[in-house]
Structure 1
């Protein structure tokens, strides 16, 4: 039987003990080769672009350059490497941005080693890998996308929000849509209520998070 393709990877984590542990774990298992390590996201991007591994094991919260920004940078640069997030955090504020930025998978650091090996193999093939805790969060978020009330934005409210996302002022929105500034403010009040947002920035972020903005 032919030997499986050796999967190459790099480890990006700010804790030397974690990097050493992961390197040792993968180098002791057949079918894997660790090409290098980095201590922050910026160095991780440079290393991934230089070494072109099959998989990047990426921590999220690192001083000197976080994982989400690094994932987005690799996606923007069209890196071949698949990114598998490996972190201690499974909160929405970490999970969703990482996946939206282009991560192929998301595992927690307490995952059993066999699960980690399987996840890296799957990521190398471009398959999505999510730990059960993360998967249930995402499914729940998709099934109940709206927070308070769950009302959909009207077409006009979406028009207003798209202009807000471009940094347009209320006065400019009024001129663009041929409505009064008072009407713009009314639309914004409804948008904030429907999205459960407290201000313009939060409304835009929530809208991107739910796919209201940024989809064709």
Structure 2
């Protein structure tokens, strides 16, 4: 039996680091189902563009720029998976082949591990001179396994816009969580609410 994924959205005013100064608030999407928990936090003006339930996935994108992130949750049987082990076993040719359909000429770049709010993930990035978005494209791929669930978070952006897009991608990755009760935000501070004095 399929269950709809119910997400809650909240918007908060934030003070960001200089690199994120143009984004003054964020949206928070959460699953309320205990079998597929997640918290996905993303800066405005990015919006949740689509969701599906089999597998669980959420796509967020920027309405005015080539920037998109896809989050997916699937069942995983590998109980021994670790980010460090996955990093050591990355097959460059296999990764390049997997991305070549949507990113012809894909070249794998940096490979490392990264921190979500509550888990360590494998991270690699790559780029291609052409893509189905019609521009040279860069992808930042992250993945982790928690309690039999495999999480992937892939963010794509126009390579020419890396200086503007990559800080947003890094913020989304750092604030992603594999639980539904994660707080906002890493890389930002909640701005104090100014009280309006009562009228005289």
After TM superposition, is the score higher than 0.5? no
TM-score normalised over the length of structure 2: 0.23
User: Which has a greater percent of helix?
Assistant: 1
